[in-house]
Amino acid sequence: MQLRPERPADAPAIASLIAQAFDGHPHSGGTEPAIVRELRAAGALTISLVAVDETGNIVGHIAFSPVTIAGRAGRWYGLGPISVLPALQRAGIGSRLMTDGLARLKALGAEGCVVLGEPAYYGRWGFAVHEGLVYPGVPPEYFMALAFAGGVPRGEVAYHAAFAAQA
Ligand SMILES: CC(C)(COP(=O)(O)OP(=O)(O)OC[C@H]1O[C@@H](n2cnc3c(N)ncnc32)[C@H](O)[C@@H]1OP(=O)(O)O)[C@@H](O)C(=O)NCCC(=O)NCCS
Q: Is the pLDDT of residue 29 over 90?
A: no
Task: Give the range of the structural domain holding residue 26, as residue numbers without chain letter.
Answer: 2-164
Domain count, the chain: 1
Give the pLDDT confidence score for residue 13 in this predicted structure.
98
User: Nearest CA to 25 among 101, 80, 79, 86?
Assistant: 86
Nearest CA to ligand 1 atom 17: 121
Residue 117 beta carbon below 6 angstroms from any ligand 1 atom:
yes
State the pLDDT at residue 79: 98
- Number of residues in the chain: 167
CATH of the domain at 104: 3.40.630.30
14 CB under 6 A from ligand 1?
no
pLDDT at 27: 85
E strand or H helix at 71: none
Query: Is residue 106 within 8 Å of residue 100, measured between CB atoms?
Result: no
pLDDT, one tens digit per residue, over 45-65 is: 999 999 999 999 999 999 999
Question: Could you report the per-residue pLDDT of 86-137, keeping only the tens digit for each?
Answer: 999 999 999 999 999 999 999 999 999 999 999 999 999 999 999 999 999 9
51 lines ligand 1 (CB under 6 A): no
